């Protein structure tokens, strides 16, 4: 299939994404959506937050506009800016504005990474005003009823600099995500990567070992996503220990000692 | 040392001079002859170490010289270095007699070799594998075990002890696998409840309890090997291979035990039931990875842990309950919290350990520390006893059970000497060309604050200077500014655009730098000031140091850099002290001002430990630039100690090199006029400033700081 370009607001998800609910998060999200409440997803990386958003977008049949926040992301990156075209300045909507206009779901991934001034534009959207101030245009954009704001952050990064302010977090309905329970995770890994259940079981066992290392030299254990990667490699004929090294160990750390320890864990499990 | 083949006479001469043979009557002749038969490279290696060790102790060096020629052909270099350094370490800590026993262990090695074909053996050293295996064991689940070096391979259920050197197999790889197998078996003992029964009591009924313990250990090894085969099949394959290579297997008569104990349900009770039969069989020759069972060590660790963990869990549960009821209060029914009960459910299946905590049937997610506590308790008892799940009442436990006990650092010299609560730092021994492990006993102490008018007086005295400093430092602050003519930005740069359009009309090329962008500059510096509090600073210098610190703080507060101030002093390696004046987290308040005023001259100038400790502190701070500034009045020195002179300078230089490796920029401000002799060697050519006059210190320090950080 050739790659083809899509405007963000046309990004409808046509096929049902594979998603295994961990609890009642689907019902909560739907209820929040119906009542036009913004949603905050908490959880470690690779535990299914983004997949959940895709699934909900498919369920609610709304376009999904995802913005991955980085530390240089400013308010104008979200709202829009003037650009110069043929000697004139032209206003171009940012992704948030587009979502507000068409009534899509705007998902701001890893919101704590963004600059502080982005919060100023999110706040009025996230309470009952549901408006987007567009300072440079001198306009106030009212969100359509279909619009939904979702943000995510990872409370595992224990940095003072990367914390959500109370004024922000208290505007959202919070959904907590964690790595799925062992049985469920096994099912997900088997389904997503195509490995057999015994291999999936070993992968999950290995992942839980790396998660035990969190806090003693490892920032974060192996996520479900990494397990799926490893599973796909194994399915492609790579030896399990090698697959775990490339897909998991190298992904979670650069520290030579830690790499060796994780390698020893995987060579023990398989 | 020149690399050429030496004759016996040459070697005799060298050994005699290093070992002071004239006074000690050591007969170096035969050893020298043996050395003369070796290759030049081996001679150099051995002689170099003899010289280095002789700087610490002549007898250890002599014993090494005597044994080395026989070993050099079969022991790999690294292993040999580890052996002799190990002996030096033991000498440092426990004295000559113990060091000589380490030396004698090598004789056993030679004995072992006789039974094997003569080949190079590459062993593994504890220090090399401790990091990897430590993380490996923590990954396996269960209690957070730590790895330590010990003479006997065993566990006390908190720590796993492995030997300093492992060299059963010719290749380093196999020796590592052996260490991994040992650690895993010890882990399995804690994980699968070997110590849930009182092993000492169980064996006491037999005519020979020690023998019973040995047979029981064998049964447990069979049981746990089966568990490992189930959970860690990859490792089990390696373990079987190691045993095959050594010709170890299951002795006759033990098959039925192995079978009985290989079911997942088998536990320590099953082993105890079988012990009667096993006792009748001949002694089980321990497998290579088996180690020892030490019920006494386990009992001690358990006794130390039990009450503490109970108290901690109950207090934590009380906190959880409090939190829960506060959540409920927003709802309508605020029930009294008394009749709530916690229940714990443990799911220990298939190698996984899942703990669930419920409050009145409602599952709650326990925080990580509570999970750890519950895991540890479960491993001890096989379940969580109900009395552990009763939340603690107010004031039921005193704080001593809850936190780690911290001994009062001042009590050290008032009563008996202790090393509790102290940190240990290595020291570089220039003679040995190696570190002395855990040599300096370091404690952090508080400066007694003196609330007088010192701070105010200093500001008045230097009023003009203060004004100047404030202005100068404010100017250094990097402000947010608008960058014009950027290729990408938040707004259109109208000036640039007009120009560009004009250019375009004119037919020349149009610039694409048409935007403005705000630049946020963050000055990201963390600095520690390390202030000399040695006895020699008494009087003038101390006064000048304190004034300099006051002015510096005033300036740094303007700048917004993160800074900490520590004083250092000490007397001998057993009493190295760092005085907290201001930590990174503390604001510059009256307390800190009073502490600056309270800085008093103390003892001597041992510097290595201070640099190492402050470097560690800086490592934990997140900052782009890290600076360590030393204010000192003289060379490193200590009381009746080798530290005086070249040794101290070399150790300080080594500590500074370590700091630089860790990304810390060291800098020194001194008033010692002779410092030109040693400072360039320690700090490098451009990393120090010598002040000719003490009175300059207050004026100069801030100025110097400004210079080195811009």
CB A151 within 8 A of CB A173: no
Position A3 in a domain? no
Contacts of A265 in chain B (CB under 8 A): 136, 139-140
State how many domains chain A has: 2
Contacts of A82 in chain B (CB under 8 A): 491-492
Nearest to B670 by CA among B630, B628, B612: B630
Same domain, yes or no, for A149 and A188? Answer: no
Tokens of B27: 């007969």
- The pairing of beta strand B362-364 with beta strand B352-359: antiparallel
**Whether pLDDT at B148 is above 70:** yes
Instruction: Say whether B139 and A81 touch across the interface (CB within 8 A).
Output: no
Q: Is residue A58 very low, low, confident or very high in pLDDT (cuts 50, 70, 90)?
A: very high
Same domain, yes or no, for A164 and A58? Answer: yes
d(CA B701, CA B707): 10
B-contacting residues in A 98-137 (Cβ below 8 Å): 136
In what side-by-side order are the strands of the sheet with B146-149?
B146-149, B159-162, B154-155
**Residue at token pair 């003569």:** B118
Residue of A nearest to B142 (CA): A212
Instruction: Say whether B132 and A257 touch across the interface (CB within 8 A).
Output: yes
d(CA B505, CA B644): 79
**Whether pLDDT at B447 is above 60:** yes
Which regions of chain B carry the CATH code 3.40.50.410? Answer: 454-473+524-708
Q: What is the pLDDT of residue A56?
A: 93
Tokens of A133: 């101030």
Q: With the C-alpha atoms ordered A42, A48, A52, A58, is the resulting torsion angle positive or negative?
A: positive
The mean predicted confidence, pLDDT, of chain B is 79
The mean predicted confidence, pLDDT, of chain A is 87
Instruction: Say whether A261 and B184 touch across the interface (CB within 8 A).
Output: no
pLDDT tens column, B386-439: 777 787 776 666 665 555 545 555 555 555 555 666 788 888 888 778 888 878
Domain boundary pick from A152, A176, A200: A176
Tokens of B529: 């000031």
Same domain, yes or no, for A39 and A144? Answer: yes
pLDDT tens column, B458-505: 888 877 878 877 777 777 776 667 788 887 777 888 888 888 888 888
Confirm or reject contact between A91 and chain B (CB < 8 A). Answer: no
Q: What percent of chain B has pLDDT over 90?
A: 3
Domain boundary pick from A176, A195, A223: A176
Q: Is residue B117 very low, low, confident or very high in pLDDT (cuts 50, 70, 90)?
A: very low
Q: Is residue B3 very low, low, confident or very high in pLDDT (cuts 50, 70, 90)?
A: low
**DSSP string spanning B20-87?**
THHHH----HHHHHHHHTS-HHHHHHHHHHHHHHHTT-HHHHHHHHHHHHHHTTTB-HHHHHHHHHHH
SS (H, E, C) B629-666: EEEECCCCECCCCCCCCHHHHHHHHHHHHHHHHCCEEE
Contacts of A258 in chain B (CB under 8 A): 135
Instruction: Say whether A261 and B132 touch across the interface (CB within 8 A).
Output: yes
CB atoms under 10 Å from CB of B349, counted, come to: 10
Residue of A nearest to B184 (CA): A268
Report the CATH number at residue A109: 3.40.50.300
Confirm or reject contact between A23 and chain B (CB < 8 A). Answer: no
pLDDT tens column, B373-400: 888 888 888 778 777 778 777 666 666 5
Position A263 in a domain? yes
Q: Which of A136, A209, A260 is nearest residue B132 as measured by Cβ atoms?
A: A260
CB B87 within 8 A of CB B99: yes
Residue of A nearest to B140 (CA): A209
Q: What is the pLDDT of residue B181?
A: 92
Q: Domain limits at A54?
A: 8-176
Residue of B nearest to A240 (CA): B234
pLDDT tens column, B337-371: 456 777 777 777 766 777 777 777 777 777 777 88
**Whether pLDDT at A30 is above 90:** yes
Same domain, yes or no, for A99 and A201? Answer: no
Q: What is the pLDDT of residue A226?
A: 92
Q: Which of B131, B141, B351 is nearest residue A257 as measured by Cβ atoms?
A: B131
> Chain A to chain B, count of Cβ pairs less than 8 Å apart?
80
Position A207 in a domain? yes
Determine the residue among B124, B128, B139 to mutate to test chain A binding: the one whose Cβ has the most chain A Cβ atoms within 10 Å: B139
Q: How far is B131 from chain A (nearest CA, A)?
A: 6
Q: What is the pLDDT of residue B327?
A: 65
**Whether pLDDT at B324 is above 80:** no
Confirm or reject contact between A236 and chain B (CB < 8 A). Answer: no
d(CA B232, CA B192): 14
Same domain, yes or no, for A31 and A144? Answer: yes
Q: Which of B131, B235, B501 is nearest residue A268 as measured by Cβ atoms?
A: B235
Same domain, yes or no, for A239 and A165? Answer: no
Nearest to B567 by CA among B600, B608, B615: B600
**Whether pLDDT at A27 is above 60:** yes
Question: Quick one: average pLDDT of A150-165?
Answer: 70
Question: Quick one: average pLDDT of B585-599?
Answer: 85
Same domain, yes or no, for A78 and A143? Answer: yes
Tokens of B236: 């089990």
Between B639 and B411, name the one with better pLDDT.
Answer: B639
Question: Quick one: average pLDDT of B222-236?
Answer: 89
Q: Identify the weakest region by mean pLDDT among A212-226, B283-297, B400-414.
A: B400-414
Instruction: Say whether B352 and A260 touch across the interface (CB within 8 A).
Output: no
Strand partners, B627: B527, B665
Confirm or reject contact between A2 and chain B (CB < 8 A). Answer: no
Q: What percent of chain B has pLDDT over 70?
A: 89
Same domain, yes or no, for A168 and A192? Answer: no
Q: What percent of chain A has pLDDT over 90?
A: 39
Q: Which of A74, A205, A217 is nearest residue B135 as measured by Cβ atoms?
A: A217
CB atoms under 10 Å from CB of B259, counted, come to: 11
pLDDT tens column, B652-689: 888 888 888 888 888 888 877 777 777 778 777 667 77
Confirm or reject contact between A21 and chain B (CB < 8 A). Answer: no
Contacts of A181 in chain B (CB under 8 A): 354
Contacts of B501 in chain A (CB under 8 A): 87
Same domain, yes or no, for A110 and A167? Answer: yes
Based on C-alpha coordinates, what's the Rg of chain B? Answer: 33
Fold of B454-473+524-708: Rossmann fold (3.40.50)
In what side-by-side order are the strands of the sheet with B362-364?
B342-349, B352-359, B362-364
pLDDT tens column, B157-197: 888 898 877 878 878 888 889 999 999 999 998 888 888 88
Q: How far is B596 from chain A (nearest CA, A)?
A: 29
pLDDT tens column, A222-268: 899 999 999 999 999 999 999 999 999 998 888 888 888 899 999 99
Same domain, yes or no, for A253 and A120? Answer: no
Determine the residue among A202, A212, A239, A244 to mutate to test chain B binding: the one whose Cβ has the most chain B Cβ atoms within 10 Å: A212
Confirm or reject contact between A264 and chain B (CB < 8 A). Answer: yes
Question: Quick one: average pLDDT of A161-180?
Answer: 82
**DSSP string spanning B269-322?**
HHHHHHHHHHHHSPPPPPPTT-----HHHHHHHHHHHHHHHHHHHHHHHHHHHH
ipTM (interface predicted TM): 0.76
Tokens of B16: 């005699």
d(CA B58, CA B24): 9
**What's the Cα-to-Cα distance from B284 to each of A218, B184, B213, B259, rounded to whole Å?**
41, 20, 11, 17
Q: What is the pLDDT of residue B334?
A: 46
Domain boundary pick from A176, A194, A224: A176
Question: Quick one: average pLDDT of B3-20?
Answer: 78
Nearest to B215 by CA among B199, B228, B227: B199
Residue of B nearest to A137 (CA): B491
Same domain, yes or no, for A119 and A137? Answer: yes
Same domain, yes or no, for A15 and A87? Answer: yes
Nearest to B210 by CA among B286, B291, B272, B294: B294
Position A1 in a domain? no
């Amino acid at each position: 299939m050739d790659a083809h370009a899509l405007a963000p607001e046309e990004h409808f998800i046509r096929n049902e994404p594979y998603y295994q609910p961990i609890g009642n998060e689907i019902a909560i999200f739907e209820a929040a959506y119906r009542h036009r409440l913004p949603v905050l997803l908490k959880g470690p990386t690779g535990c299914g937050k983004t997949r959940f958003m895709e699934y909900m977008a498919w369920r609610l049949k709304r376009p999904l506009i995802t913005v991955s926040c980085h530390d240089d992301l400013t308010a104008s990156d979200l709202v829009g800016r003037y650009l110069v075209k043929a000697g004139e300045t032209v206003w171009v909507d940012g992704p948030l504005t587009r979502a507000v206009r068409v009534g899509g779901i705007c998902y701001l991934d890893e919101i704590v990474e963004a600059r502080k001034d982005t919060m100023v534009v999110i706040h009025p959207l996230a309470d009952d005003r549901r408006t987007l101030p567009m300072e440079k245009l001198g306009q106030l954009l009212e969100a359509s009823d279909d619009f939904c704001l979702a943000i995510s952050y990872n409370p595992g990064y224990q940095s003072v600099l990367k914390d959500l302010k109370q004024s922000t977090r208290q505007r959202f309905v919070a959904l907590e995500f964690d790595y799925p329970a062992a049985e469920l995770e096994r099912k997900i890994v088997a389904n997503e990567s195509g490995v057999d259940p015994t291999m999936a079981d070993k992968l999950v066992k290995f992942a839980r070992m790396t998660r035990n290392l969190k806090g003693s030299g490892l920032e974060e254990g192996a996520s479900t996503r990494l397990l799926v990667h490893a599973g796909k490699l194994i399915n492609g004929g790579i030896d399990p220990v090698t697959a775990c090294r490339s897909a998991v160990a190298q992904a979670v750390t650069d520290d030579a000692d830690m790499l060796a320890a994780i390698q020893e864990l995987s060579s023990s499990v398989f | 040392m020149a690399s050429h083949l030496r004759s016996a006479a040459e070697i005799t001469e060298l050994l005699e001079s290093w070992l002071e043979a004239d006074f000690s009557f050591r007969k170096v002749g035969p050893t020298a002859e043996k050395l003369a038969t070796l290759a030049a490279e081996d001679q150099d290696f051995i002689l170099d170490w003899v010289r280095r060790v002789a700087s610490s102790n002549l007898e250890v060096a002599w014993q090494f010289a005597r044994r080395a020629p026989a070993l050099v052909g079969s022991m790999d270099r690294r292993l040999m270095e580890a052996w002799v350094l190990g002996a030096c370490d033991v000498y440092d800590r426990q004295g000559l007699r113990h060091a000589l026993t380490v030396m004698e262990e090598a004789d056993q090695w030679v004995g072992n070799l006789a039974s094997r074909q003569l080949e190079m053996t590459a062993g593994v050293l504890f220090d090399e594998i401790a990091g990897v295996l430590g993380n490996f064991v923590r990954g396996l689940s269960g209690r957070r075990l730590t790895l330590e070096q010990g003479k006997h391979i065993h566990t006390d259920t908190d720590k796993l002890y492995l030997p300093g050197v492992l060299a059963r197999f010719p290749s380093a790889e196999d020796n590592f696998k052996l260490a991994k197998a040992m650690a895993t078996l010890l882990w399995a003992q804690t994980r699968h409840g070997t110590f849930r029964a009182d092993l000492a009591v169980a064996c006491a009924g037999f005519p020979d309890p020690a023998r019973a313990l040995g047979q029981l250990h064998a049964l447990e090894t069979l049981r746990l090997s089966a568990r490992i085969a189930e959970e860690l099949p990859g490792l089990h394959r390696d373990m079987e291979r190691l045993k095959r290579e050594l010709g170890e297997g299951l002795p006759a008569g033990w098959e039925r035990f192995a079978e009985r104990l290989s079911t997942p349900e088998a536990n320590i009770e099953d082993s105890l039931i079988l012990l009667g039969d096993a006792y009748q069989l001949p002694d089980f020759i321990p497998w290579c990875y088996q180690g020892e069972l030490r019920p006494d060590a386990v009992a001690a660790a358990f006794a130390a842990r039990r009450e503490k963990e109970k108290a901690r869990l109950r207090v934590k549960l009380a906190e959880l309950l409090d939190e829960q009821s506060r959540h409920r209060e927003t709802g309508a029914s605020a029930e009294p919290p008394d009749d709530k009960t916690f229940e714990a459910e443990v799911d220990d299946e298939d190698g996984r350990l899942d703990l669930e905590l419920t409050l009145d049937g409602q599952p709650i997610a326990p925080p990580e520390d509570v999970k750890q506590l519950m895991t540890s308790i479960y491993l001890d008892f096989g379940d969580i006893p109900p009395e552990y799940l009763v939340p603690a009442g107010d004031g039921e436990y005193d704080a001593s059970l809850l936190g780690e006990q911290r001994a009062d650092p001042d009590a050290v010299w008032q009563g008996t000497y202790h090393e509790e609560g102290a940190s240990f730092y290595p020291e570089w021994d220039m003679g040995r060309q190696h570190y002395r492990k855990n040599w300096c006993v370091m404690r952090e102490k508080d400066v007694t604050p003196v609330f007088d008018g010192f701070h105010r007086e200093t500001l008045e005295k230097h009023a003009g200077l203060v004004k100047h400093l404030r202005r100068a430092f404010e100017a250094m602050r990097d402000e947010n500014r608008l960058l014009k003519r950027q290729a990408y930005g938040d707004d259109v740069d109208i000036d640039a655009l007009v120009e560009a359009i004009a250019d375009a009309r004119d037919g020349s090329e149009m610039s694409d730098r048409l935007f403005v962008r705000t630049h946020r500059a963050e000055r990201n510096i963390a600095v520690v000031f390390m202030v000399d509090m040695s006895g020699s600073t008494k009087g003038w210098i101390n006064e000048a140091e304190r004034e300099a610190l006051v002015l510096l703080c005033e300036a740094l507060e303007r700048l917004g850099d993160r800074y900490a101030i520590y004083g250092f002093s000490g007397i001998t390696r057993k009493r190295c002290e760092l005085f907290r004046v201001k930590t990174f987290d503390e604001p510059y308040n009256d307390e800190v001002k009073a502490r600056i005023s309270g800085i008093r001259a103390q003892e001597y100038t041992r510097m290595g430990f201070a640099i190492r400790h402050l470097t560690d502190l800086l490592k934990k701070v997140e900052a782009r630039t890290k600076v360590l500034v030393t204010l000192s009045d003289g060379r490193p020195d200590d009381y009746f100690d080798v530290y005086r002179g070249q040794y101290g300078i070399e150790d300080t230089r080594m500590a500074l090199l370590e700091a630089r490796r860790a990304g810390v920029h060291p800098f020194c401000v001194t008033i010692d006029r002779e410092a030109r002799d040693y400072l360039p060697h320690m700090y490098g050519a451009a990393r120090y400033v010598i002040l000719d006059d003490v009175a300059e210190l207050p004026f100069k320090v801030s100025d110097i700081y400004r210079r080195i950080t811009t």
